A and B are shown apart, each in its own frame.
Chain A
Amino acid sequence: MPKTPWSHMRLTRLAGPLPAWQGLVDHAGWRAACARCQADGGRLVSLWGTDARHAAQGFLIHALLAWTDRLIWLTTRAGDASPHYPDVSDIFPATAREQRATADLLGLTCGSADARPWLRHDAWSAADFPLREDFTTATAADAKPYPFLRVAGDGVHEIPVGPIHAGIIEPGHFHFSVVGDDVLRLEAHLGYAHKGVEKAFGSLSLADGSRLAGRICGDSTVAYTLAYVMAVEALDGYTVPPRAQALRALLLERERIANHLGDIGALCGDGGLAFGQAQFGLLKEHWLQTHQKLFGHRYLMDTITVGGMACDLSEADGVAMTAQCRELAGALRALEEIVNDHAGLQERFLGTGTLTAEQVERYNGVGLIARAAGVGRDMRLEFPHAPYADLPVQDTRRPEGDVAARVALRFAEMHASLELVRHLLAALPDGPLASHCATTRHTRALGGAEGWRGEIFVAIERHAADGSHRVHVHDPSWQNWPLLELAATDGLIPDFPLINKSFNLAYSGHDL
């Protein structure tokens, strides 16, 4: 048998539908594993810390690596007093912000060059660590200006934007360094929507946690809830009935379509084609009204529960949905032709905000922005869980990497998702909607779903002693925010709204 790159580590298989393994390494092994994973073309998906002092293990630091066809949950000990672990941001630069967030929330340091706080502004002081188990209350800190990296030179000036933006969008701060209209550097400062979600999970039962999971990022409620319940079901050994699995995938694809409709409409609006905004807004509204009618919620919140589904689909409604899919596909073909033929819009889209495949690889970019730059990142293809393993998921990659490519990719993905919905409806399995039979009690589990932005992961650890649990949630925007900064660099200030909308990254999902 050929020696696998991880054969020197003692890995054990994690229960659940994902091809996931776990292993404990020492500090040297931590860096070695990251370096080898990077050399093999793998990526660091998420990095987080936990407080394991109750089990006399001090603090632990975890990394989820996507390494060839496996997901590897790697853990190393950070110690108890003045906990620290090896910096890996030189290997995976997008990890720097997750390392900074881990310092803010748990006080684990790694000695990286950038030690500025990330999620912590002034709600708690540098001496408070909200995710430590002995944390009680925070002492508010003095508001200090965030130390942005300065760009020096003649004629350079700075444009601060946010946290309240001009439109109806989430809060965040963008700091542009410009000469005239040319963007020399963009640096984002996030954390304004930080709500202490990971702490809040600890006071909810695992079953009740699904409502919170569905409200971390409202536009991706299906993907978040699915990732969360998948982890809980793996932890407790639920067997999810095939009908529930099919309906979950159906809702995940419908959520993808709803968001792409909204974003293409907004891109038309920002590009000056009000007609497009009106048309896509109407298509999205009809799509949401169908959600309300068939599933009881316009954005599909609380439709997925631990063990299965809270709603069903009748045969007649399935037939009507198939017809609706055909109708939408026709409307999309007509509108795509109009968008592609519109010189003014194409002039704004083409060559704007270009990302290269190298940049995406370097920053471990994921989801639609990676696929629009030619990098195939799609959980449904890389780590397919039921029912995706049996579905014809299309590779929608295209090489250009600009705003036009992200628009074209969203059109292609809507057609692909409509095709998946039709496939699911044509062969919807019969049987129960949920299983309430917990069979095992594992201590660790992983769940994941390819949301419309990219891969969303949920990792749960249960403490053997008291049955309490710690939930970590990962949004693809952690990797993609630094790429937005790169895409805006060397562009024009007036193009930023278009570039930003073509990414449409999560604030609340990132800030938690």
Chain B
Amino acid sequence: MEKLIKRIFATGLPEVRLPATPAHREETDAIAAFCAQAGRAIAVRHVDAGSCNACELEILAANNIYYNLARLGVHFVASPRHADILLVTGPVSRHMADPLRAAYAAMPAPKLVLAFGDCAAGCGVHTANYATIGRVTDVIPVDITLPGCPPPPLVLISALHRLASMKTA
């Protein structure tokens, strides 16, 4: 236990090493302020609709202690029934189209959808064919499309900021 506590103190606070650009600072402050005002976290449900797993790695990275999405009040939930935002990755394999529709239908209104990554946006290497629909917007309504292969965590934080503003409006 002593070694563990020593290690914690030796590690320090990683998020202070983030690039503290005014834009990023403004976005993170706004997300935190939104959650404080709402009195609760923004709830995000992720659905992998046939991605290659690189987008998942970046969403997980956004939750590491460096980017620390939870610190701002963004919470990933296990059920779409608890979610404000549906975060969809992948070009929508035909085998995931029905589960994706079901997840969207299960969300309470108002609900927002973020199509995350080139494949979800329809500009990735996995294009429409017998097994793939080709983009999320052909299956459920999309509010924000986020290209990138995969989009890095700071871009996800930016997009969540935009979605939080839409939720207020």
Enumerate chain B residues within 8 angstroms of A121, measured Cβ to Cβ: 95
Q: How big is the A interface, by class?
A: 35 or more
Question: Does A282 lie within 8 Å of B65, measured CB to CB?
Answer: yes
Q: How far is the CA of A338 from the CA of B10 in the complex (A)?
A: 14
Question: Does B57 lie within 8 Å of A262, measured CB to CB?
Answer: yes
Count A-B contacts at CB 8 Å: 158
Question: Does A338 lie within 8 Å of B3, measured CB to CB?
Answer: yes
CB of B132 closer than 8 Å to a CB of A: yes
Known A-B contacts A130-B130, A171-B48; A193 and B90 likewise in contact (beta carbons under 8 Å) = yes
Stretch at the interface among B120-128, B136-144, B158-166: B120-128
Known A-B contacts A164-B99, A217-B53, A298-B152; A137 and B130 likewise in contact (beta carbons under 8 Å) = yes
Q: Which of B8, B48, B95 contacts A170 (CB 8 A)?
A: B48
Q: How big is the B interface, by class?
A: 35 or more
Majority-rule SS of A interface residues: loop
CB of A174 closer than 8 Å to a CB of B: no
Smallest CB separation, B4 vs chain A (Å): 5
Question: Does A215 lie within 8 Å of B125, measured CB to CB?
Answer: yes
Question: Does A278 lie within 8 Å of B53, measured CB to CB?
Answer: no
CB of B113 closer than 8 Å to a CB of A: no
Question: Does B130 lie within 8 Å of A123, measured CB to CB?
Answer: yes
Question: Does B3 lie within 8 Å of A192, measured CB to CB?
Answer: no
Question: Does A282 lie within 8 Å of B7, measured CB to CB?
Answer: no
Question: Does A211 lie within 8 Å of B131, measured CB to CB?
Answer: no
Known A-B contacts A193-B90, A218-B54, A218-B55; A285 and B61 likewise in contact (beta carbons under 8 Å) = yes
State which residues 320-358 of A face B: CB under 8 Å: 334-335, 337-338, 341-342
Question: Does A281 lie within 8 Å of B129, measured CB to CB?
Answer: no
Smallest CB separation, A510 vs chain B (Å): 11
Question: Does A298 lie within 8 Å of B96, measured CB to CB?
Answer: no
Q: Which of B14, B96, B150 contacts A218 (CB 8 A)?
A: B150
Smallest CB separation, A123 vs chain B (Å): 4
Stretch at the interface among A5-13, A25-33, A195-203, A435-443: A195-203
Q: How far is the CA of A371 from the CA of B125 in the complex (A)?
A: 34
Q: How far is the CA of A507 from the CA of B54 in the complex (A)?
A: 12
Known A-B contacts A143-B98, A215-B126; A282 and B53 likewise in contact (beta carbons under 8 Å) = no
Question: Does A508 lie within 8 Å of B60, measured CB to CB?
Answer: no
Identify 9 new A-B residue pairs, CB closer than 8 A, beyond the known A195-B91, A221-B54, A262-B60: A123-B94, A169-B56, A193-B96, A194-B50, A278-B64, A282-B64, A284-B61, A285-B66, A334-B7
A-contacting residues of B (Cβ < 8 Å)? 3-4, 7-8, 11, 14, 46-61, 63-67, 76, 78, 90-91, 93-96, 98-99, 103, 124-127, 129-132, 149-150, 152
